[in-house]
Amino acid sequence: MGLNLSRDEVAFRCEVRAWLAANLPSELRDKVVRYQSFTRDELQRWHQILAAKGWIAPAWPREWGGTDWSVVQRYLFEEECGYAGAPQLPPFGLAMCAPVLLRFGTPAQQQRFLPRIYQGDDFWCQGYSEPGSGSDLASLRTSAVRQGDHYVVNGQKTWTTLAHMADWIFCLVRTGGGTEAKKQEGISFLLIDLATPGITVRPLTLMDGGREVNEVFFDDVAVPVEQLIHEEGRGWTVAKYLLGHERLNTARIGTCKRELERLKAFAARRRNGGRPLFDDPRFRDRLSRLEIELMALTMTNLRFIDRFRGGSAPGAEVSMLKIKGTEIQQGLTELMMQAAGPLAQGIERYVGMDDDDRLISSLAPRYCNYRKTTIYAGSNEIQRNIIAKQVLGL
What's the rounded Cα separation, in Å, for the pair 271 and 279? 9
Packed helices 319-340 and 281-308: angle between N→C axes, nearest 10 degrees: 160
57 φ, ψ (degrees, to nearest 5): -135, 65
DSSP annotation of 177 reads: P
What's the rounded Cα separation, in Å, for the pair 365 and 340? 13
- 266-296 exposure pattern, b = at least 16 Cβ within 10 A, e = fewer: bbeebeeeeeebbebeebeeebeebbebbee
User: Of the candidates 186, 134, 125, 130, which has an alpha carbon nearest to the alpha carbon of residue 382?
Assistant: 134
What's the rounded Cα separation, in Å, for the pair 386 and 392? 9
What's the rounded Cα separation, in Å, for the pair 344 and 363? 6
What's the rounded Cα separation, in Å, for the pair 142 and 154? 6
What's the rounded Cα separation, in Å, for the pair 136 and 80? 35
Q: Which residues are catalytic?
A: 246
- One-character DSSP codes across 31-96: HHHTT----HHHHHHHHHHHHHHT-S-TTS-GGGT-----HHHHHHHHHHHHHHT-----HIIIII
User: Of the candidates 125, 108, 100, which has an alpha carbon nearest to the alpha carbon of residue 224?
Assistant: 108
